[in-house]
Structures are given as structure tokens and as C-alpha cells.
Structure 1
């Protein structure tokens, strides 16, 4: 059965802004609270603040960008968060855009797959209390974390295309997708994950899909909400390529038209409550283990109260 979780629909500027969403997860059937990479209040610190305020909820870091921290620091932060909250953590990682890689590392990864393999292998070894001795092409590590009991930390990998999906099948606990239509997950991502898992002789990892959604309201145009949610992604070559593979007719260079294509291709879901529930059922039918409700477009275009109201309405309907 597919679980449903909540994404923070903005980057918090003050840690107390996390509390209403942590409370929503605490008081509903939502599986966990997710936060994407943030450059204001860093996600681990926001979740720790929520725990100190009485909301100790399972956390998802998805996805944090590999160039920002060494894998030793990444493993330490993820385990520290699990110890602080007393709850399991899903720590997702991804290579980020080439421009970010070049800005922070001096040059982009010649092979993002190799970089991700090295990174996740180091994090996994450290979290397993192993002495890690890896000299990689992109990251190296010789060391270990002091052993200490902690709630489990799952290792996630950001996935858009088949190559990264196969790698997730080989080495990750969770594949984390963004803006991916259900049919693309069923026909492309999951088969590639199975191929990777079978080659490594391991069980198929979980699949978590971050799904942008908006409830229908008078005056709220779905394409406007889709653009408010994903304008930056519609400029990313890797997102454009994934969407085209998924049959979403994005052209690039015309944000309004591309936003309409997101709606038409059901990469962005909108409708009344019944219609949204039906569209979300397609993710369960596709084999998705966890759907993360992403109300970023509503938050950006209509405001915080509207986004929270839609989240509450959706979670209530999903619980029935």
C-alpha cells in the first residue's frame, strides 16, 4: 500500500516555520516530512528544531546535493538527525546541476553515475559502522563514525533517468523522483531499478515520488500553479530530457507552454478532490511505495494558508 508524505513547500527562513508541517505529520497519517535542499535554514537543523519543540517526526532529506558536503559529513548529519529526533531518517542525495558542480568543485562530474556510486558507497559504509577505505575518482574517505545506537537511516538516490534508476537499484535503499509522471515510473524507472537490483543480487529498493499537486479552486489556473512550482526545473536539461522521455511535450524556451504541457502530461496533478485521488491512485498502480505531496505551486502563487488548507484536505480524503 502506498504511503503519503508531506513536502515543505518552501525554504524556511526561520526554523519555527517548520513546525506547522511537522505538526501536520505528527497529527495525521502522513508517513514523514520531507525537505528539499535549502540554502536558508538547512534541513537537518530545521528538523532538529522541530524535534526540540516537541514534534519528533520521521524526516526525509530529498535530495541534498552532493557537492555541498563530503560524504563523511553527510553520513554524520543524517545519523545525528536520527539520534536527535529518535525517528528514522531517509537521507537522499543527488549530484545536482552541472553548473553547481562546476561552481563548487571547479569542474562538473564527468560521470555523475560514478560520482553518485562513490558517494553513496562511502555513506553506506560509514552508517554501517565500517572502516571505509575508498579512494575514488571524485570522493575519497578513510575513516569511520564512532559506533552508537541510532534509529535507522535509509540512503536515497535522486533519480530522473534510467541510468540513475539502475544505480539506485544496485546501491540505494530508496529511489527519489521529482516531477515524474506515474506512467514513466511504471514503464521506465521501475524496470531500470529492477535491472540494477537483479544485477547486484539484492531486493528492489523503495520508490518515492515527489508529486506536485493542487486542488481545484476558482481563479486558480493549473498551468500557472505548475509554473510557480517548477519554473527552475523547466530550465534544467536533465528535467527536460526526462519529461520528453515521459511523453510530456516540453519545448524549452516557452515557460507558459511548458507549464501547460506539465498539466496535460500529468507531471503536475490538479483537479477536485475526487479527480486528484484518482490521479494519485495511478502512482500506487505504477508501483510507487511513497507519494510526497508537493504544494509548492500553491504556496508560491496563492500563499501559505492556501497550501496548508489543500494539504489538510488531501490528507483527510486519503485517510477515508
Structure 2
């Protein structure tokens, strides 16, 4: 199983990302991930890093489909591969219903159909194919200018079984978030494999973004877990996802203990976290992405970087 890192801060200056991108250069971390950014565009940040000589494999998980057309998404992903010379894994998801309404004017009537059209089109475009589709959401007739670049993989964010099955059918990777290892093992990974089998493909790899932190003097596990996941715990679609995994949350701080007890938020020594991450490997996960957003939010970027370095050294 590979280990990667996600940028744990909201960078308002690109220089702030340098220590974290350098961890991918200096350790065995496989990839530098970013979530959807509302400040500096995440593709532009990676290209800026490449411009100062930090060229590392990158992951985007997940970028939200309402913000860009499939053609624009394909251009951004391939442009990043060209500027870095490194593999790009770009994963997409529809976002919350309210978010869709705010950006598009109305939510997708069928998120599965919208995402199927979107990911299929992006994947075909980055593969150099001519696309002629008349979909309900993203009708496209286009082809990108043919040019060779580093590998571009197109992923799909998965929270529930039907989206996981779709990822296995049409995407290059399935990217999970806020999912305990037992639910991955018993529900989501089998759903991904079912979709791949139905499409006559080899099983699609599964990536899990895993919130975590190291236990140090003066730290509180629940505070760190809530600082990492608290915003998501208040969203109805994440509450439903966790409910399906057997974790009932209401968005209160007390929910943090439930995440820790379920193995969703590994906490302890670097060895403890290493052992907890092995449960994700046993569940069928090919890549875990270490998320120490809570450490950065409560203790600062330097503390977050130190946690990542110590965990990566142990694994």
C-alpha cells in the first residue's frame, strides 16, 4: 500500500505549500494531494511549485463537477501533467445538493448520471479520444490537441455503494473519504470490484483519505478529530454516509469520539498510526492519504508537517 499526504492548510500564498510538497520529494510519500480549493486553484498551485523546481506526482480529491466543464477539467489535469512531468490523479465528485444548487441554479436530478457523463468524457479526452456525446448534463463534441504528457488518471469520489460501483465501471481510481476500514472492506471495496467485473475490467484501485494525528503532550484526540472532520460531520450527505457505516453523528463535538473508536481517525504514537493504517490495506485500499488538517488548524503548519514526517518515517 502506498502512503501519500494531503496539503493540510488553506494556502493564501503558494510558498506556504512548499514544506508539504517537499515531503513528497524527501520521503517515500507517493503523491501530493489537494482537495477542492476556494482560494488558490489547486492546479495552479501545483504548477507554481513545478516552476520553482518542485515537481512531484499530484492528486486532486475531490474536485467538484459543478465548477468546471469536462473539457476544462481535462485541460487542467493534462496541463498539470505537462508542467510537472509527473503522474496526475484527478478525482471528481458532485458535491452536496446545496452546493450544486448554488453553482448551477438547481441540483442534479440524477447525480449518478451526471457523474457518469462527466468522468467518462474527461477520461476519454485525456486519453486523446474524440468525444461525441449527447448527454443530459454534459453534451460534448470535442477533442483536445494531441500531445504526449505524463500519465493522467481520472478518479471518482465515492461515499456510497452505488457511486463506488460506478467508479469501478468507468474511472481509473475510486477515492473514499470519511470511511472506516471495516466499511471499506465489507461494502465499498466490494462495490468497486463489482463495477469493474461488470465492465470486464481489472479491479480499479481504491484510495482512502484518512484523517489522523500523533499523540503528543497537551493534545486532545477528540479536539483534533473534530477540527479535521467537524465541518463534514454537519453535512447531511456525510451524515448519511457514516450512518450506512454504522456511525450515527449529529455534527456535535462528541461525534469525534465515534470516529476514533471506529478506526476512522487513527491517533497515538507513530507506530500506533502505522498499525491502524494497515487495517486500510487489509480492507483492499491501494493508497492512503494522510490528512492532518486538524493538527494544522489547532497547532499550526509546522506541527502538521512534523506529524506527517514522523508517520511517513514509521510506515
TM-score range, shorter chain: over 0.9
CA contact (8 A) 1:122 1:132 kept: yes
**Residue of structure 1 in register with 2:262 after alignment:** 265
CA contact (8 A) 1:247 1:265 kept: no
CA contact (8 A) 1:18 1:47 kept: no
How many residues are paired up?
315
- What is the CA–CA distance in structure 1 between the aligned matches of 2:13 and 2:196, rounded to whole Å? 41
State yes or no: 1:155 paired with 2:174.
Answer: no
**Residue of structure 1 in register with 2:65 after alignment:** 66
Output the TM-score relative to the length of structure 2.
Answer: 0.98
- The 5 A counterparts of 1:16-35 are 16-35=15-34
**Residue of structure 2 in register with 1:303 after alignment:** 300
- What is the CA–CA distance in structure 1 between the aligned matches of 2:26 and 2:216, rounded to whole Å? 26
Q: CA RMSD in A?
A: 0.9
**Residue of structure 1 in register with 2:236 after alignment:** 237
- What is the CA–CA distance in structure 2 between the aligned matches of 1:109 and 1:267, rounded to whole Å? 30
- The 5 A counterparts of 1:1-320 are 2-250=1-249, 252-253=250-251, 255-318=252-315
Output the TM-score relative to the length of structure 1.
Answer: 0.97
- What is the CA–CA distance in structure 2 between the aligned matches of 1:190 and 1:122, rounded to whole Å? 24
- What is the CA–CA distance in structure 1 between the aligned matches of 2:263 and 2:248, rounded to whole Å? 11
- What is the CA–CA distance in structure 2 between the aligned matches of 1:237 and 1:200, rounded to whole Å? 31
The structure 1 segments of at least 4 consecutive aligned residues displaced by more than 2 Å after TM superposition are none
- What is the CA–CA distance in structure 1 between the aligned matches of 2:126 and 2:89, rounded to whole Å? 12
- Please state whether the residue corresponding to 1:291 is helix, strand or coil: strand
- Please state whether the residue corresponding to 1:231 is helix, strand or coil: helix
Task: Name whichever of 112-121 and 214-223 sits farther off.
Answer: 214-223
| CA displacement at 1:9 relative to structure 2 | 0.5
Which segments of 5 or more consecutive residues in structure 1 lack a partner in the other structure? Answer: none
- What is the CA–CA distance in structure 2 between the aligned matches of 1:128 and 1:310, rounded to whole Å? 37
Which segments of 5 or more consecutive residues in structure 2 lack a partner in the other structure? Answer: none
- What is the CA–CA distance in structure 2 between the aligned matches of 1:223 and 1:134, rounded to whole Å? 48
| CA displacement at 1:218 relative to structure 2 | 2.0
- Please state whether the residue corresponding to 1:168 is helix, strand or coil: helix
Task: Name whichever of 235-244 and 140-149 sits farther off.
Answer: 235-244
CA contact (8 A) 2:230 2:253 kept: no
| CA displacement at 1:219 relative to structure 2 | 2.0
- Please state whether the residue corresponding to 1:64 is helix, strand or coil: strand
CA contact (8 A) 1:183 1:286 kept: yes
| CA displacement at 1:83 relative to structure 2 | 0.4
CA distances 1:64-97 after superposition (whole Å, capped 9, x unpaired): 0000000000000000100000001001100001
- What is the CA–CA distance in structure 2 between the aligned matches of 1:37 and 1:126, rounded to whole Å? 21
- What is the CA–CA distance in structure 2 between the aligned matches of 1:18 and 1:214, rounded to whole Å? 19
